[in-house]
Amino acid sequence: FIKRFAHRIVVLDRNEQLLYALGSGIKGSEPGEFSQPHFITVNAAGELFVADTFNARIQKFAPDGKFITAWGRVGNEPGEYSHHGYLARIDVDGHGFIYVREFDGGRIQKYTENGEYIATFASRGTQPGQLDEGYGLSVIDGKLYCPDTFESRIQVFSLDGELLENWDYGEGNAGSHFNHPVDIAETSTGELIITDWKNDRVLKL
């Protein structure tokens, strides 16, 4: 559970009982401190990866909350994040790789689970294979699903960054049309759930 403006991560058990909290509750940049963390993901080993948004870095923690490592800083080079392209989403695949998306920087960066830079996918733009402003990035069935929020479309990439599909049906509120889709997830039965922000609805595909 992320308390973004409290600069903390609260970890609960399945009965919603507190296990531990990460962060001091005060904005900071030391290891284990946060500046408005936005998203978190967990790998198969139970390690936590936090998008420490306005510190422009990823922090990694052990399952018990012990700090392990951090990577990233402001910049436009590999392993860096543009100052205005704050970290919008983070996810992990089943092969030991982490994917980080910038909100308006248009890039997705791929790392090992220890923070070693692998590759950069996409760039800022509106053409197929480019990303404009957007929040979502989910690894589903071995693919990267990216809601391109302000272009009202969803793009699907391989885990190596190849554009596979571009769901761009035109902005609207009927059928499979989107109006600012924000996030996407998979149900236990393999269906896709999309939050469609400005249509005030959830789509099931």
User: pLDDT by residue (tens digit) across 184-201?
Assistant: 999 999 999 999 999 999
Give residue 103's pLDDT.
Answer: 85
Question: Is the pLDDT higher at 8 or at 49?
Answer: 49
Q: Decide if pLDDT at 162 tops 80.
A: yes
Residue 143, φ and ψ in degrees, nearest 5: -135, 160
Quick one: average pLDDT of 77-91?
84
Cα separation of the two ends of the chain: 27
User: With bands split at pLDDT 50, 70 and 90, how would you rate the model's confidence at 82?
Assistant: confident
Region 128-148 average pLDDT: 93
pLDDT at 85 over 80: no
Residues 97-130 pLDDT 10s: 999 999 888 899 999 999 999 999 999 999 999 9
Mean pLDDT calculated for residue range 158-163: 97
Question: Residue 139: is its pLDDT beyond 60?
Answer: yes
pLDDT-derived band at 67, boundaries 50, 70, 90: very high
pTM of the model: 0.92
13-63 pLDDT, tens per residue? 889 899 999 998 889 999 999 998 989 999 999 999 999 988 999 999 999
Cα 130 from Cα 119, distance rounded (Å): 15
Looking at residue 104, what is its pLDDT? 80
Question: pLDDT grade, residue 3 (50/70/90)?
Answer: low
Asked if the model's pLDDT at residue 2 lies above 80, the reply is no
